[in-house]
Every structure is written in C-alpha cells, then in structure tokens.
Structure 1
C-alpha cells in the first residue's frame, strides 16, 4: 500500500482552538435540549447534554431510534404514520419510513413559532438596491395563488415544474406551490448558458417553466428573453411558461403567461400527502463529462435532514435570520430555504457578491441582523487577500456563526474569520454535496472549532476514512466513506431505471458503502480535515497529498489570483509523470517574479516532492457552472483524451479557459 502523508497539521499536536462555547451557551442550544429529550423519552444514556461524541455514537449505533427521535422531537408532520423506520438497510435501496406520507411544503408554511402571519418569512435584496420583505401571511397567500395557477394548468403529482430564475421570492413561491401538489421541482440560474439549461431540463420533461426576462450581475443587466424563447421550443412536453418581469416591468414574451396573471386568483393552501420517498426535486451533477446526472431527493429525506441541520447543527429557530450566498443552480439554494422549516427568516440575495466591492454581503449581515451567515471558501479567500476586515466597518455582533462550503477552507481562512470578523463567531466549515443536499461533516454548537478542521461528523452520518483495502484509518488520510444510509441519499438518478448509474457513482469501489470521492482524515478529536477530491490526488514518489493543501500554499501568495495543479501520474503512466501548476496572476505580476517564491514555499510547507516541474501562466482556470475547478477533465485533456470526451462545454462557466490546455496537447 502507498504511504500516506498528512500535511495539515504537520504533527500529532492538537491544533489551536479558535472558538469554543461556554458551558452556559452550550446548555441553551437546541442540540442540548434534544439530548435531554432523548435521555428522558428514549432512555439514551448520555454522560451530559453537551457530550456530542456520545450523542453522535448513539445516532449511528441505532439509526432507527435516532431518526424516529429526530422526527418526533422536530415535529415532522406525518399524514399517514410509518410502519417502521427502516424497511431495508441496503445501500443503495434503503427504505426509510415505509408507509408514511407527508409533504415538504406543509413544514415550511404551517403556522407555528416563527411562522405566524406577521412573522417575517423572507427578506430579499438585489445588487442594484431593490429590496422586499415577505411575511408568512403574504407567503402563504402567494403560494396559494401560484398553486391555483399550477392546478389550472393541469399540473399534479409527479409532474415536473422547472425554473430559469434567480434567488428571488417568486422562485421560492413557485417551488413551494409545486411541492404542495407533489410535483417535482428543478431550477437553473439565469446566467447558465442555453445549452447547459437544456441539458438539464430536457431530461426530466417539464410541463411548466418559470422564467425571468433577465438578471443583473456586477452592475450590468442581461436580457435572456431569447434564451427563454429558444428553451420553450426545445422542451416539447412544456404546456405553460410563466414569465416574471424581473428587470423590466413591461417585459413580455408571446405565448407566455405573465406572473401577475398566473397568480391573479387566490387559492386554497393545501398539501398533497406523498410517500416518504416521493421525489421532491432534481439536482444535477456538474456534467463535466456527458449529460449532468439528475439526482433525485425525496420529500421525507430532505425534511428530516434539513430539520436536523437547521435546528440541531446550526441552532436556528424563530426570530433568527439565515443567509447563504448562492444561486438557484447550486444545492445551497435548496439548503438555504430550509430555514423556513424551523421558523427562521431566510435572506435571499441576487447579484455579484463582490459588487461594488467585497463589503456587500457583510453589509447585508449588518443591515438585516443575520444570525448564521454562509458563503463559499473561495469568497473567504478573496476577502482575506483583499485585506478586508468586516468587523471594522460592519456590526457583526448578531452573527454567531459563519458557514463555509464549496471547497476546503484553508487554515489562513479560518484565522481570517476569527481575526477579521470576530472571535465570538463560530466557524462552521462543512462538506457534503449535491449528492445528498446536506453535509457529512460540519459543526455543532456544543463543539469547539479547531484551526483548519471541520468539527464533527453530522448526526446520523457514519463517516470513515478508508484505505484501498477497505480498512478503517485512524488519523490517516483516506477515502471518505459513509457506511450506513442517510435519509437524503438519492432515491434514484433520473432515467436510470435499474439503478446502474447510481451504483457506479457511489457504490462500485466499496460495494454496499457510499464512496464520496473526497480525501479525508478523521482526527482523534472527532473532527475531520478534507484534502480535496480523491480522484485528483497528487501522488509523488508514493507520497499522496490532497490538492487543497497545494492551493492553500499557492493562493496565499498575493500575486496569485487562482491556480490549478495537475499530476499526470494519476493518469496511469507507468513512470512518474509531470507535476504542473497553472497560475492566474494578479495584474502587473509576472511569472518570473512569483515562481521562485512559490517553489520555496511549496518546498518548505509541503515537501520537495510537491514542487511542480513547471509553472504555467494562464488567463483563467476552467470552472464548472457551480464554480468547481476542473481538475480531472484537464488531466484527461493533457493525457490526450479528446476534448468532447473529457468534458462537456455546456458544463463550464468559462469554456474559453480550456484553450491553453488544448494547445499543450501535441497534434495527432
């Protein structure tokens, strides 16, 4: 077996603690209340209300008791009671709560704490200054009207309703209306190219499309009416297109129904009871090779996972405001709107997070009193490199947690949050994905934050680090595996009737176990360190290292705006291949100036083996529509794989960025 090296931290010492809850703080959290409830009502033996390790051990030792306790404690509304918690434990094919019926939308819209008529459901802010607020009474009325519009169009259980629309109230309303009927939802951000949208929506044959006339980003306005018209022509099953005049109040498109007309008639707010595993929405894989996979999640699985995440892990509840920067094309939109499940206000922002500058989102947190503030790790890195100190210009006293996802948060990123935002803030780095629309590893309000580490495995997530032989690793880097089912694992892939593609995606390497494709180390503290994708691991002389460590060093240099590292050894070469580092340099920076510093830093902070053979300056790094670096597709291209076999251009936000890599491949 290859030798594994751990790069961060470099020894077995416990890293610095950046945040820890006081005993009083920890005791007042919802997760501590849940522990007390579990002890009293389920007889669970826990040393204390705030002993997370013991609580987690129970959650994976007795899946049935834990998830039934979550459902009862957090108030899942079953229309028909389940006959069991687990009908089958097989992965794939797990049967959760057989016999039960419920509806996601009922959990978001039923009056209760934080959801009374006058309570604020939604705050909306657009980059050009447009703002709106929506109370729960108004939200229920709007959903009832949209539901009536869908019913009038003949939409019912199992039909697909899709949106080419931004992170705005109308998108949320249409989703909840569709879910209330048992229809299946899917959305794309309006900045997606026409091909990318078609590749996603055409697979699921929608009957209704919600679309906008355009969007604004970075101070510019983009008209997408032509894209909408073309998309309608390419979706033969489409019966109705509803147009929201998002930029121009007078915008029209022949053959579409204006939003005002679609929602003109009030309608009853009713909820179709559907089986626990009935499809709620379809999310998509990045689609870097071939069509994006349609990942189907269930009503019941998402209700359970998101209630658990919002209430227990994020400690959200009535009177609090939840924000995550996202578009409707990223799973974090689906996660964000889960704040309604626990009676919190959700803050929707549409626009460029760096326009007019990087203070924009921090100013929103100040203005709206955000409680849990979520962004991407790359946004944190941008703020760090810009020398921003939000605490100096914004009141962040009400922000008690800052979430980070999308890629591993660097050690410097952890330090920056603590220093530039506030020592009182819990740093909630989390990792999971579109595949489960939830986190495997995350934070808990009763657990400290260690520098560079994700604090815990999520409750109910049986997370392990395995070697190639399937052995559990202790404090060593290995494959991230989930050894027992979670409710929000996909119920299926769309157009995968026998489950072949689903099994190939997650269960082929370790049969019966979920292989996520991340490189992870489980520490003795119960925390985790993510090192990047395991299929893009750097392998030099038998020493393996995740790309996240490499990027942390390279992108800490001010003159480096972005980077991509490729180890051609992983392409199956008999001899060790080249290690290549592609750099996007800041204005006025030169490769001749930067390269010696990078070589020295990589040699001292990682190892001599991880100093690249070549540094190459490029204009941009190829990224997927969701902002992920295209490491594996670029590897394939450099290995001579035909570009159309290596990557689908429609999956890229910047296809032109591939040109330098294509030019490096010898002709013929």
Structure 2
C-alpha cells in the first residue's frame, strides 16, 4: 500500500530543463543577475522581494500598458495594497493578443457537450466575434464599470460573452445553469447587472433541463436589467422568449459587421478597476461577492499558467468545470500562453465513466484538471484508461477541488501513464488561482502538494500564532498578492473583507484552511479549518478518515464532524452512504472501526457510525461539513446552511431531523 510521502516520479533532465519555470530562472540569471539553485530558492526570493518578483513577471510576459506605472506596490498592508499604480491594462486584450502570433485559423478552443459534437473555434473567429459583440454591448449603452451577468453553460458563446464584456471595461459575473433561481438571485441581486446573457437550458447525464421558467423568475427579480441576450441552446428552433426588458437573440447580437482589429479599442483600466465578480459558496448565508481586477488576474494567471501548469504554446488544456466555479475563469490560461482551451459541458462520467479520458485523447490535451472524487470513482470501477486511449500528448494531471489521497496519485501512475506529472492544487475563489500547487522541476510524492506557489508568502500557524512545521495549523498569507480581491462588492470600507479574512490576525490573511507544511517544502491541505476534528484536544483532518473509507467499495461516500457536547466532551459521528444492496450492519460497523483504528489511530474511530441516504454537497462540489456540524450543535437548518447553494437542497433534511432527534 502506498504511503503519504512515498516517492512516485521525477521528470527527466529534458523535461525539467524545457519547463517554463526553468526558462524563467535562466532569464532571471541573464536579465536580473539572480541565480537560484532550485525552485525553493526561487520561491524564497519571490516572497522576500515581492516587488522585484512581480516586476519580473510583468517584464517576462510583456504586459501591455499605454501608460507607465510609477511603483510596483503602494504598500504591503492588507487589504488595500495597490499594484502597478499608473498602469492601465485590459484582460481580454491580453487573452486575444496571440491572434497574430501564428496562423489565425489555428484553434483557440476545442469544445463539446452532451448536445454538441467535438468542434473547434479559431483564434480569428473568437477574436472577431468578441469585437462584434463588444461593439453591440457599447451600442446598448454598456459603460465601463457596468455589470454584465450570464446564466449560461460552459460553451464557446459564454467565453465570447465574457471576453466582449471585459474588453469594454464592464464587469463580468456568471452562474451555472444548474443553479436554481433563488441561488442566482442571491448572487446577481448584489451586483445589479444591466445586461444578462441566458441559455434556455442544458443537458447533463443524458437528461434535458429546461431553464426558461427559472430565467423568467430571475429577470423579474432584477430590476436593474435593461436587456436580456437570449440563446436557444437546448431547443435551437424555439422562438426567443418575451419578457419585461428588451430581449435580443444571440444571433442578432452577433449580426453586426466585422470589426477589424486595428479599429477596435479595448478599454484599458487601472489596477483597481473590477474585472469580474466571483461568489463564495454561500453555504451559511448570502455568498460573498468577490471582486478581482484586470491587472491582478493577468499577473497571477500568467504566473500560474506558465510556472505551475507548464502550459506550452500550441498545446491544449482541459479542466473539467462549470461556469459557476472559479476554475471556469482560469480556462483562458491556455490562450494566454498561446495555447488552446478545451471546453466540455455535461457530466464528466457520461455516457461512460471514463469519458474524461476520451476527451483528453481526442483533444490531445497536454494537461488536464479533474477532481480526486472522479479519480476515486474510476479507481473503484477498475477503469484502466492507459490501455484504451491514446494519451501520448498528456504530460500533467492536476487534482483540484478537494484533498487528494496517496492512492489517487498511485492509481494515476499505474493506470493512466508511468511518465506523468501528477500534482494536487489548492487555492480559492478569493485568488482565482492556486496558493499551493505544482512545479515540473520537483519530485512527485504520494498525496503531497509539491510546493507553495511563487509569490505566495504562506506559513502554517498554531493556535498561539507560532509558525509550525510538520503538523496541521492555519494557512496564513503574510504578504499581499496581486490577485487578492480588490474588495467585496458594496463593502467600501473593507469592514466585511476584514471580518472574513483578517479577524484573528489583523495584519495577515487567514485563509480558513487546515494546512501542514513539511520541512522539505511540500504540504497538505486537510480541508476547512472550522471543520477540523478536535478529538480530545488533538486536531485531526477529516481527509485522513475519508482516505481510509475511500478504499472500501461498500461505501459510496462519507462525512464526519466533531462537536463539543454540553459536558465539555466531544461527539464525533461518521455518516456513510452505502452502496445499493449493501447494509450497514454490526459486522460492517466493527470492520470500519477496526480499519480506522489500525490504519489511522484510536482517535480516528468515531463515536457512532450512521447510514444516511445522501451526503450533502455545495454546487461547487464541497462536502458540507460545517453546516452539518452546526446542525449537530443545535443551530436551526435555515441558520446553519443556505440550501440554495446545494446540489441537492433536500440532502440536509435528514441531518436536521437526526440532530433534532438527538437533542430531544
């Protein structure tokens, strides 16, 4: 059995030397006189001299601003640090500028969905449609700073709408079509959009989902909307629906005359001008409206795409995502690096559980990003994609969305490809990127995240605020980063911002993750720190328990919490969703207890093991440990969770009933 930290792979000399980060280190030596022996030395410089590091990122990627900047960083205070003051940039302009760096008919996007076969869209087509739509938006009265929202699937039209919106300095925000009307209203009502792009529905898992009634409800609740741009995606031959504001069909919106690149003016904006608004999961209240700026996202995305994803020109990148997850906002990493983004809309395991590998093979993906949960499913089903698909172009797999187990790493090497860069990533909507992730120059060790990302001054602190190595603590960021939120929408004085991230350490960002940093620089993210299991004064991560349960085919899913009882003790129940046809009987309970005791420790053995009909998840696939813990503490369901942010809003009802019965 593979153990956490076991060595699995190291890229050969050519792989390391040809990596983007090695080339950047060579450039730093030649152009800046900085010589670094390895990635860890480079990281230490990047957080010690953050102004010099981010200036190097600006210069290396040749960011374009018609106005010079007077300083890299106004001050190191958080929040409120201002970057590259005086500069003016545009995100969409940088994404599209590679149109001229090669044949404009080459692919910009590969795209497919459960409704559409695999197709491609060229650089020329994407850029031209972006200019036409941006010109239309200007004609509709959209000004810099106005909000434009979308209730659309992960298809090329949504990318074009986003690029057109940001090209003119308007502020983009999106919600996935699987979100219910209430969830969308919770988000969009905060930002008051003037334009909303909608699609009539989508298909997932072979089933059609008509969203026309939801759209009517959403628009009726948004008095700020002046125009709805409607796309018939699910039912292409239907008439465009009529509703209160003006409705424009997608084809009509794109019917303008071609706009030559030389005649189109991108709206170049200062670093504190909003690019887009992303939303937190909102599991226990209204989701936070997180505002990013053009410049901060550009700097962070160039850094991440090049040095932590190793994306190469002309190569394709496939990350499974929906438009309601921050990963969607990173899909332009491919085009930023003069590569290709792969869009897929639908169930990642439809029509077969190995569909993700079919897509990777057909698009010749260099890198793919998938969830550890999906890997676990394929592991339990005995899938061996390396034997079935041509994955010769595949170089890297990035495990995102939740902690990855050593077994997931090992399974990928055994069943996908022996020569493979596998790494786990963790970041957040707040940064629209990773905080800890991979480097192609480092070894891959089972279950470990390879390193802290460049420019991310991260440490683990214990409960006394002291730095610790080798044991779980709070993930703390001690220096500002360009892609930190400009603000939370409507929070002009940073009061809500400070309360969310600077409540315990006023000078440092507290991310809310339980985090272990090892002596060799590798690390683990165990999950949210407010869901950490405090077992008789010893903090343990829920991921350790899930890792053991994941090896048991009888268990489909699980969730564990720990709450303090009235007598000062602890109650730690384990909830398990059993596979159909399998019962949680006394023999199974005894087997589970013994397995946790021997593979983990006596402290990992729960007080009670209970079968449940389903495990609750947010719309962004996060287990709802914190809301369940609140229910166990006696907090009512309407205060413990925002059910509108859930994949299955009824999944918490069982837990609320259980908590009520236990308290009686």
Residue 488 of structure 2 corresponds to: 493
Residue 303 of structure 2 corresponds to: 308
Residue 27 of structure 2 corresponds to: 37
- Which ranges of 4 or more aligned residues in structure 1 deviate by more than 4 Å? 112-116
Q: Secondary structure at the match of 2:534?
A: strand
Bigger mean CA deviation after superposition, 263-272 or 540-549: 263-272
CA deviation after TM superposition for structure 1 residue 270, in Å: 2.5
Residue 536 of structure 1 corresponds to: 531
Residue 570 of structure 2 corresponds to: 577
Retained in 1: the 8 A contact 2:277–2:292? yes
> Per-residue CA shift, 1:67-86, capped at 9, x if unaligned?
00011101211221211100
Instruction: Say yes or no: does 1:259 pair with 2:254.
Output: no
Q: Secondary structure at the match of 2:631?
A: helix
Residue 415 of structure 2 corresponds to: 420
State how 1:449-460 maps to structure 2 within 5 Å: 449-460=444-455
Q: Secondary structure at the match of 2:163?
A: helix
Instruction: Say yes or no: does 1:101 pair with 2:94.
Output: no
In structure 2, the gaps of 5 or more residues are none
Retained in 2: the 8 A contact 1:481–1:516? yes
Q: Which residue of 121, 134, 137 maps to 1:134?
A: 121
CA deviation after TM superposition for structure 1 residue 473, in Å: 0.7
CA deviation after TM superposition for structure 1 residue 113, in Å: 7.1
Instruction: Say yes or no: does 1:648 pair with 2:638.
Output: no
TM-score by length of 2: 0.96
Residue 5 of structure 1 corresponds to: none
Q: Secondary structure at the match of 1:85?
A: strand
Residue 110 of structure 1 corresponds to: 97
How many Å separate the matches in 2 of 1:590 and 1:132? Answer: 45
Retained in 2: the 8 A contact 1:114–1:318? no
Change (3 A) 1:204 1:115: farther
Q: Secondary structure at the match of 1:97?
A: strand
Residue 69 of structure 1 corresponds to: 56
Q: Which residue of 444, 460, 472 maps to 2:467?
A: 472
Bigger mean CA deviation after superposition, 129-138 or 280-289: 129-138
Instruction: Say yes or no: does 1:390 pair with 2:349.
Output: no
CA deviation after TM superposition for structure 1 residue 115, in Å: 5.7
**Pairwise CA RMSD:** 1.5
Q: Secondary structure at the match of 2:332?
A: helix
Instruction: Say yes or no: does 1:661 pair with 2:655.
Output: yes
> Per-residue CA shift, 1:304-338, capped at 9, x if unaligned?
00001111221112110011000000000001222
Q: Which residue of 582, 599, 620 maps to 1:589?
A: 582
> Per-residue CA shift, 1:193-247, capped at 9, x if unaligned?
1100110001100000000011000001111111111211111010100111112
> Per-residue CA shift, 1:476-510, capped at 9, x if unaligned?
22111111111111110012121111111111111
Residue 547 of structure 1 corresponds to: 542
CA deviation after TM superposition for structure 1 residue 276, in Å: 1.4
How many Å separate the matches in 2 of 1:25 and 1:317? Answer: 12
How many Å separate the matches in 2 of 1:564 and 1:17? Answer: 29
Residue 431 of structure 1 corresponds to: 426
Retained in 2: the 8 A contact 1:18–1:423? no
How many Å separate the matches in 2 of 1:174 and 1:384? Answer: 38
CA deviation after TM superposition for structure 1 residue 529, in Å: 1.4
Retained in 1: the 8 A contact 2:98–2:336? no
> Per-residue CA shift, 1:1-34, capped at 9, x if unaligned?
xxxxxxx968xxxx32211111222111111111
State how 1:584-623 maps to structure 2 within 5 Å: 584-592=577-585, 593-623=587-617
In structure 1, the gaps of 5 or more residues are 1-7
Retained in 1: the 8 A contact 2:99–2:124? no
Instruction: Say yes or no: does 1:211 pair with 2:211.
Output: no
Residue 141 of structure 2 corresponds to: 154
Q: Secondary structure at the match of 1:209?
A: strand
Q: Which residue of 6, 14, 17 maps to 2:7?
A: 17
How many Å separate the matches in 1 of 2:3 and 2:382? Answer: 25
